[in-house]
Structure 1
Amino acid sequence: MANQVFSGRYTVDKGQDIVVFLIGMRVNQWWAVHKWLPVFLAMPGMIRELSINKQLGCLSMENFFSFRTTLLLQYWRSSEDLRQYAHGQVHLKAWKNFNQKVGNNRAVGIYHETYVLSSSHYETLYGNMPPFGLSKALGRVAVTPQANSFRKRLQGKHTEKVN
């Protein structure tokens, strides 16, 4: 179903607040493979853990790669779930390894950004898309005449739930 394209226009059911978490790395020195490769390889274990254990609170995620930078976009049920995961065994091990092996070495950079959004502060629209982003995390809702504009979707004015 993840690759199935849904024709038409959809939005999400905005019945809940959401946490958007961006995390990634940037390779600053390609030749320092021994510095950036361990950072890169630490992420798949955490992704696997979050994908298998939905009770941890990660609702959905998407990966993006560019020439030097990776980006993992995650949607979380709450900031408390994210905080608890950050203090959990798998993440703390990866964080400790990063600090021991890389620390302030300029070969690789890491980043994260966290956005806590109330349901009245986000809007979505998907046209002819497979489940993606918040629609993958929260489910899709058909755009009805009550939700045919940015302003109406921001206010949560839609009614037709789709399976």
Structure 2
Amino acid sequence: MSRPGQDFKPLVAPQSERPRSRFFGPAAFESLLRDQASLSTWLCVGALVQGALILLVGRIALLPAAALILYRALDSYAMSVGWKRNTYMDGVLMKKFSAQIPDELGNYGNKPADTDVVVFLIGTRSNHPYGMLAPGFEQSGKYFSSLAQSLEDHAEEFGFLGMTSWLNSADRSSKSEIMQVCYFRNMEGLHAFAHSEDHRQAWDWWNRTVKQNPHLSIWHETYHVPKGHWENIYVNSHLSGITSLTSRFTDKETGQDMWASGVVDASKGLLKTSAGRMSRSKADDHDKYGEDPY
């Protein structure tokens, strides 16, 4: 735990190689593909395929689908009653935790939100009946992927800390808006990236083709948050959002470059309340509500 006056306690060990941003997660393409059609469309596609197989090989064609459904039902039941490991809990940190940005020596200090942070949201959507198969969408996706890789390759130059990817599930049932949440150390780094050669090429392509592809939407929002004006809290959660970021530091004993997670214990001390996490109270503002479970 972290008491007032003590440095915050990290919960994730530093790594000798920079982890890739969560943007590059393994399920990205599958999620995008599944989002290209509504549930009713996918059900109809499945029905047509199943019907065609029955015509070709008879009722035996039902066996693969029935076996898969049975397996998944039994697998879910086994996890729910504890007969096997719950794989959905893999990577969950069973703690109340917060993210603080460590300094160049990997120290977390004892003052919450003690540095500026820049949050950059960027999104796109295909407003075309063909979704990701629409003209221009593939090329824009390739440019964005190359820019994400450029950020990874030049993270220190641009002050890039990491990025996560999200689908807007509320607006419509398919071809949803895609949003990336990017974190930078400062505005200078973000502007350096915006005027880099890689970004300039993508920018020029968009300006040349925007009139040909009116169905493609892009947007961004930028928030420069001064120190003491941001906070975060996670409980029994995967590392996501700001808690998925890493920062390079120099190991003072070996001189080796290492990458530190910002995840620290928030069960006690200044980080246990919102006001405390923004250095605006001694984190005693919740004491009147009684003991918390952490």
TM-score (norm 1): 0.86
Q: Give yes or no for contact 2:135–2:213 (8 Å, CA) kept in 1.
A: no
How far off is 1:36 after superposition? 2.5
**Amino acid across the alignment from 2:94:** S
Q: Which residue among 7, 16, 21 is the counterpart of 2:120?
A: 21
Hey, what does 2:231 align to over in structure 1? 123
Letter in 2 for 1:48: Q
User: How many angstroms apart in 1 are the aligned matches of 2:228 and 2:212?
Assistant: 39
**How far apart, in 1, do the equivalents of 2:242 and 2:211 lie?**
34
How far is 1:121 from its partner? 1.1
Matching residue of 2:263: 140
Q: Is the deviation greater in 92-101 or in 44-53?
A: 44-53
Q: Would you say the 8 A contact 1:35–1:102 is kept in 2?
A: no
- Counterpart pick for 1:151 among 239, 260, 275: 275
Q: Which position in structure 2 is the counterpart of 1:5?
A: 92
TM-superposition CA deviations, 1:60-113 (whole Å, max 9, x none): 100113432110100001101000100001001001111111247421110000
Shift of 1:4: 2.6
CA contact (8 A) 2:122 2:181 kept: yes
1:62 to 154, 158, 164: 164
- Return the alpha-carbon distance in structure 1 between the equivalents of residues 211 and 195 of structure 2: 19
Instruction: State the Cα distance separating 1:145 from its structure 2 match.
Output: 3.4
Bigger Cα displacement from structure 2, 6-15 vs 28-37: 28-37
Distance in 2 of aligned mates of 1:37 and 1:7: 39
| Greater RCO structure (CA 8 Å; 6+ sep) | 1
How far the C-alpha of 1:59 sits from its partner, in A, is 0.3
Question: What amino acid sits opposite 1:57 in the alignment?
Answer: G
Checking the alignment, whether the CA contact within 8 Å between 2:126 and 2:137 is kept in structure 1 is: yes
Count of matched residue positions in the alignment of Structure 1 and Structure 2: 158
Report the Cα distance in structure 2 between the residues aligned to 1:5 and 1:36, rounded to whole angstroms.
Answer: 34
Max Rg structure: 2
Higher normalized strand content (fraction of residues): 1
Contact 1:29 1:106 in 2 (8 A): no
* CA distances 1:25-80 after superposition (whole Å, capped 9, x unpaired): 11122347113322122111111121232212110100113432110100001101
Q: Aligned equivalents of 1:53 and 1:16: distance in 2?
A: 21
5+ unaligned residues in a row in structure 2: which ranges?
A: 1-11, 13-21, 23-89, 101-112, 169-174, 247-261, 284-294
Of 134, 145, 153, which residue of structure 2 is paired with 1:52? 153
The AA in structure 2 aligned to 1:11 is S
Structure 1 residue runs of 5 or longer lacking an equivalent are 159-163
Give the ranges of 4+ consecutive aligned residues of structure 1 lying more than 4 Å apart after TM superposition: none
Which stretch has the larger CA shift, 82-91 or 36-45? 36-45
Aligned residue number for residue 136 of structure 2: 35
Is the alpha carbon distance of 1:58 and 1:30 closer, same or farther for their aligned partners in structure 2, counting shifts above 3 Å?
Answer: farther
Task: Give the partner amino acid of 2:114.
Answer: G
Deviations 1:129-155 (A, max 9, x none): 232222222601111233222111122
**Helix, strand or coil: the match of 2:228?**
helix
**TM value normalised by structure 2:** 0.49
Give the Cα–Cα distance (whole angstroms) in 2 for the partners of residues 30 and 23 of structure 1: 22
Cα RMSD, aligned residues only:
2.2
Distance 1:117 1:104, change over 3 A: farther
Distance in 2, matches of 1:146 and 1:73, equals 27
User: 1:161 maps to which residue?
Assistant: none
